A and B are shown apart, each in its own frame.
Chain A
Amino acid sequence: MSSNGIPGPDSEVALRVKAMESLLLEKGLVESSAIDELIDMFENRLGPWNGAQVVARAWSDPEYKAWLLKDGTGAIADMGFAAVQGEDMVVVENSAEVHNMVVCTLCSCFPWATLGLPPVWYKSAPFRSRAASDPRGVLAEFGTEIGADAEVRVWDSNAELRYMVLPERPAGTDGMDPEALAKLVTRDSMIGVTNVAPPG
């Protein structure tokens, strides 16, 4: 990286990326338009607003919720959010008794179709190293306290199997429609490091 942090020819890594891109394009191994299309998809079209709609529907429709917990891949595809790389989705439900949290200790596997690209902290060594060995400590860093009588379960994602948390529906949301409910659901609550806060 350049000393001023600005990418340029003096940044060795930026130069290496540029060299790789020019060879890939020159040899017809990738198309420039495909790169632009994928950047647009990952930045603008895939994101936690998709997962929030899945959660809101599950909170509103018991039959859908049962389907989602039994066959996450199928129930999520029903919302139009298809797997990007053919991976399977498993949805785990939070309750007063069980709190679930997702990690990828080996790298950064994440449910792209429903949550988009993983946040920087999810890919970081501190989270990857500690999520499984000290989950309550990790949750406390996010300001999430889980009662001693509740069980904490940690799910380690891999390339073929991606987990998403179905957070608990907060109090004070009776009568809210799925559209309003979806607005309450955060990315971090679907990774399981936080809970969904009540409205207001």
Chain B
Amino acid sequence: MNGVHDMGGMHGFGSIIEAVDKPQFHEEWERRTMGMVNAAMAGFQFSVDEFRYAIERMAPAHYLDSSYYEHWLEGTLTLLIEKGLFSQAEFDARITDLRTAYKGSQS
């Protein structure tokens, strides 16, 4: 698929050297995502090819505007929901629960 991920030959992305010496993980959620996705693949929940294709199916504007490990997160969510391992409704409900729990802990 000749999508936005197929970046070879594109122009205008700027300097490479600015990214040199950046840390591997900027935030802890990135580290967890890396571990989680690899654990899911090691447990044969999905293959590396399915994973990449799920990332490539992200909306082009979202793909360009999101970070590397956001690609991992969104690709994995797509696959887990498509495979019926959990539903979008379950995921949305979990987000609401976590938010409520956090607000509770702050009051």
Which residues from chain A sit less than 8 Å from chain B, CB to CB? 1, 5-7, 9, 11, 13-24, 27, 29-31, 34-36, 38-39, 42-43, 85, 103, 105-108, 117, 119-121, 123-133, 138, 141-142, 156, 159
Is the pair B29, A23 in contact by a Cβ cutoff of 8 Å? no
Is the pair B91, A9 in contact by a Cβ cutoff of 8 Å? no
Report Cα–Cα, A69/B91, bound state, in Å: 48
Count of chain B residues with a beta carbon within 8 Å of a chain A beta carbon: 56
Q: How far is the CB of A116 from chain B (nearest CB, A)?
A: 9
Contacts A34-B39, A39-B34, A107-B52 given; does A13 touch B85 at CB 8 Å: no
Report Cα–Cα, A7/B69, bound state, in Å: 14
Contacts A24-B40, A133-B9 given; does A106 touch B52 at CB 8 Å: yes
Interface of B, secondary structure class, is: helix
Q: How far is the CB of B104 from chain A (nearest CB, A)?
A: 11
B52: which A residues are within 8 A, CB to CB? 106-107, 159
Since A27-B86, A106-B7, A129-B7 are in contact, a sample of 14 more A-B pairs with Cβ atoms closer than 8 Å, ordered by chain A residue number, is A13-B29, A14-B29, A17-B32, A20-B76, A23-B80, A29-B45, A30-B43, A38-B34, A108-B68, A120-B24, A121-B17, A121-B22, A126-B19, A156-B8
Q: How far is the CB of A159 from chain B (nearest CB, A)?
A: 5
Is the pair B17, A142 in contact by a Cβ cutoff of 8 Å? yes
Is the pair B35, A130 in contact by a Cβ cutoff of 8 Å? no
Report Cα–Cα, A23/B45, bound state, in Å: 14
Within 8 Å by CB of A141, from B15, B39, B48, B77, lies B15
